[in-house]
Structure 1
Amino acid sequence: MLTLHIINKAPDHPRFLACLEALAEDDTLVLMENAVMALVFKTLSLPSCYALQPDVSARALSEVSIPGVKTINYPDLVALTETHQRIVNW
């Protein structure tokens, strides 16, 4: 079952690591709100994922480029919710 994981917790929050541990190989991860701060954590290994562009910009992280992380907008997020059978918010 394709699962979309949407996390808004900062990387130092216990649920952030729990989310990463819960990801299956075919799952999709979206970073939003404070979770986009993971883009600057050098010690954190992120899987291929998406980051919500408005939240990236709001935290002045627009210049940060991480291999495997694609920025998306709200219509893209809606499209992801339509293509996944299950959605988990962290």
Structure 2
Amino acid sequence: MRNDKNQKRLKDLEKRRQNGIRLLKKGYTCYGVAKELGVSKQSVMRWRERYEKEGLEGVKWKGISGRASKLTLEQKRIKKNHLERSNK
């Protein structure tokens, strides 16, 4: 369930980046986009740079990032069961 909330949040952030690109295409400045969307000007500049290099793919959510887990699936299952029992 928590993962679903994180995925929704990340998709919402992707939509915000795409909206920022649309505003830039309409002629807004980076500062104007930042003010409109409530983000930093530096963020908008990064979005623009990635968009110019990669197109819309550059501002899309690319899935879960981070270091790969060192736990096996069995170890994860055991850990999950242990946590569920300790929360009861």
Which of the pair has more CA radius of gyration?
2
Is the strand fraction higher in 1 or 2?
1
Q: Which of 1 and 2 has higher RCO (CA within 8 Å, sep 6+)?
A: 1
Q: If the length of structure 1 is used for normalisation, what is the TM-score? A: 0.29
Is the helix fraction higher in 1 or 2?
2
